[in-house]
Structure 1
């Protein structure tokens, strides 16, 4: 279907659904939780295509097939391109929903905790569901710097490292939002497998594209990891395709695997990955610090019920884990009955040993049997397996379940990444990580390997064959590898060769490697090259390694270089490393330089570092300098000389380091020269750092001048940082002048900072004037804070005026605080008036907060009135709550109507609760009348 035809069909189905439900557009907007204008544009033939969020919300409200409508949207807007489409990979960011990019669904807080629209994403009712308001933390600032550089035309990469459910993927999602205004695209390499998708299309990525590598270990691990890293390096250094932005996430254990240098003499499995990730890793803490908790509490108070629920139930600071359902997932796992626990153990073992994320139901059913001991097996009921699946797939919070059933797309089934069955399951990420630790030393039983052989596809089989081999289960390893080979995997022949080699059959191993190499396996070429080199056939080994390099993977040359280096054949090692660099992989030169530096051969290390620099990789010289610095003050001279060498060939990190050391030594003119060069090389923060050092030393004019230069080089917040230092030192007048300069430079937060400065000085009149100015520039913070202060001081009219300014600038939460303050002092009518004004602006949180307060005081009638007002304003949580109130009062017809409206808008809890009440012996209607 052509794109335009798909869009017409999409709108036709939506319009037919609207007519069938008997709703006008205003009523549809109300039921769907969308704005009237959004609905009108979605249905209008002349408007651009609607977002996936909008289509999802409308489909649910109209009771239409959501998947079918979203597929039409994808066809219409270019998402999910056909295999033969030669267009650039990716689609515009606005068409993506967070769950499609593997952002975790958040827990659904209880109905009684608040209204429905408190969070920034509260209005999203499509596939994304609701996300809690986002709390920025220090890692977000680091990530924002990379994104800002991308906005300014510089390609960049960042990989967020942290345990499962710490907010890595959500942080990446929030970071790229500014790119939507510039028309950036996003590409998530996924099908048929992640590394295959990346290798197939990375060369086609065009400028202004975000390459999304969630769970980056799935790209960098396995046989193709080095090739993916090399392809990403080429993309990032290709000026003709700049700017591009590569964002990824990773668990800490994988970071350790990739970044740890191998022992002397041991093969280096990840040189390309390590080189790519160096300097591009951003670590996330596993818990909120006190500053982040304070921010979360403010958002919770403002009406974000999910954050409020999380804060109430955890005092460890692990909010993101709680929001992702982690504690409940672990509790469900650890308290599960034997059959359910066995199913989860099968899934954990499959994932930790390398099976694909989607596990076929047939595999799980067959594998689970040997996970039960004799007593447990004897106690099973006839339908124990169905009961176990039902148990592990029940959500713990909203949509979060230990095992989640997934529906594979036809492209994934046909591509061989799944079996032909439509039933597959995915293990919850946090449970996978928890299980990896708990079951790390265990080897699966016989039924696991049998089930794998009968139900998994070649990629999974190959990984499990390797896992079986290193656990000395050679029989299973051979059967699995042979099964993968029978499915067409040429790399499986290379794995069979390793199994033969482990059994001492070197001749058969070589024959299999040659067979695999002749069939096109680059992995086999590399392994054969290493094997022939160790057998003393040097020339043949190098020819094989060169064949691999000519085919696009210089890893054979890299490995031979390290073997020669460890054998003391340094000239041969250098020659091979140089050939690898010519083939596009400089990691071998970098690695050899490090090895020689650590061995005390500093002169040879420097020469190799310079060779790497000539090949375009200046990181070797910087790493050598870092090694020297680590030896103590006595080696600082050598370290500085290496930084100078790296600086001469344009390494921005080295130039920034040189600028800081020159400044510390009092050589200010040289420091500025180095900082300016670093800024031109892409590291504008060097100027900011220099400005901060001058400011701390009292050289205020110099600091301001450098901050202005930093702004010119792209670091927009330089003056604000200097202003903060000056204000902290007690120079409020100087801080204000700098903030005025920042405002003139177009920095949107400057006026809000000025207002806060006046508040701190007690100048509320001046602060109010500035808050109004900031609000006009869409920054609501100052007006909101000042409204609170005015209310506390008793200046109610002024407080309300500022609240309206804040709301006009996008922050309606201030109404909730003012309403609550009025309620506490007995101004009930004022409280209701403010809450209703907020509801008219689209936020029902203040009404529901008043309902909670009145209920807590025993004013049930007042609580019901507030709930009714919120329900009338479209709050589905309030509708659900009101339905229960009406049910208990005997008005079953109205209760049912409200419950169904709430369910159609995505909140089925009221229907479930009504069903419980009507089926309960103590309920008001056991017969089901009124349904």
Structure 2
């Protein structure tokens, strides 16, 4: 081809010297790119024609196939170039197929794109190597850079060394072509790799704009570039080729600035990765998450089933509240309940070691289901404990939300949970799922192990069982140790029952401890100087609720400076009443901009209720446009926060905002567009609220929205589905209510259904004693008192 190009140049130069101008339909004959294309097309036809004439039998070594010819970059899909599919946005239920999240540009991207920009404007070929470990984003980095800088170039992607050799032999790589060498070790390190490396070196010596871009793991890069000592050199051509390359390292983790941009991105896949990769290994999570889940779900073989049982036990422990590293004894004891009788009978003596080896397998060489836990001090891993992969935890909270763990799990956690705090959280999960006997047993163990909040939960459970005398005896015994919280919990329960005298008596007894919370409670049952004195002491002791109550007293006597100071003190401690009052204070002063800034700041750590109340106030003042703007702002902020690290649903703020938006509609025709827009957001709370307002007018639409929200674990949506089902099929409604209970919605909705069906004894017994592990109604059981 070079001789042909030289000849065309010579003819053109001679024509110019003699002043000969080509005719319009002959100008292409002096276009060098025209002859290069003709040469490539002719070469390809020769190769392919030869292949068609001399194809050997299938599977015979050396068989000739068609060329991987260049084609426009726009014709290449990223998945065809080796870009990994990413984890899906959990709140985009319609997303299917290949997921490609938003791309976050980092430092190495700028370096690569600068080189590609130079290559696009230059005339010399370049070889670029992206070096990084598995799933660090090498291929995605290359794809995004080429798409950004060389969008009008062609791209050729040979799949093996033989294909690369034939492509080069056919001189099919013309100028302005990207040669895509993904996982370059597969082309350069195996059979035919040296010939391919030599041919590519010759092509890179030709003075034409060409970019060869390769990806390599660091280990493979060393194998191909290190000169061996004392043994045969297998890669001299590959080493010489790579020595001339510009190497760009793709870091394994996102640094601080990139993490900041990651959290600002409006992409559900990135948000999940940020939540489940606290060490910054974002790309590994994006690419490894789907593979890890697939590896887990498909583990049903004769040996893998034991590993799957152990991992499932770990998933249940983590989602139900065991945040400490998981002990071996817990996982080993829990696993049997996740296996069939046949699997248990066939278990070999070393079944747990086999299971642990499965759970410790590195998927895509980046992630294991159960990972090591570093020593609190010093180097190395703590023996006998493991931590569940964060992405599996995220997956389990949706995939297993309606599964109640087997009895073996609860027996294991009761005896082998790592800490009393873990026991307490597991107990509250059991209580929320209606398993009251189990919850009481776990709470008692947590309390005996020194976790004081467990006593408060036990006393409350006893009070709701009408065991108020026994509960008071227990609360008083704990009070003697200086802890007033169980006594206060009993007092507020009596208040719910309408026993005001009993409430005041217990609160005054709790206040003798001098604890801040007890003093704040004392102010609520007293008046005048006694209340003020109690609150003043509670504020000094740091109780977060006391400043607001004391502020109200100061306002009543006209001390507005102290009133505002105390509100700021309460707001800084996180008290919601203080925050709301501060915003109202600014609104009453007609300082709306400052009020909105304050409400937005509070929304970062709350649920936007203060901003929603501003919308209500604006609506009451007749400023409908401003009310609508503020209400939509709440919904939009809640939607963004549903993707963030906190993943808060904003129940109060969203509900109030939707009330405002629907209240502003002048007629029914105006309601539908608002509800339609609400349904497009990603926050399950928004779907549930929108559905609640559509139940009467559009029950089918409401049910569809409830199902979307329920699939994301929204308990209110699941409960409303059961309520809607009652009118059609009571048996289906009961199944949905049971699923709600198993997901954490409690036994009361199920008992209410039984009441409505006239099954009053069953309903009363379920409310009083809860359910057994298998979901049947529990019989009477005693509390274990100290």
TM over 0.5: no
Query: What TM-score do you get using the length of structure 1 for normalisation?
Result: 0.33
Query: What TM-score do you get using the length of structure 2 for normalisation?
Result: 0.38
- Larger Cα Rg: Structure 1 or Structure 2? 2
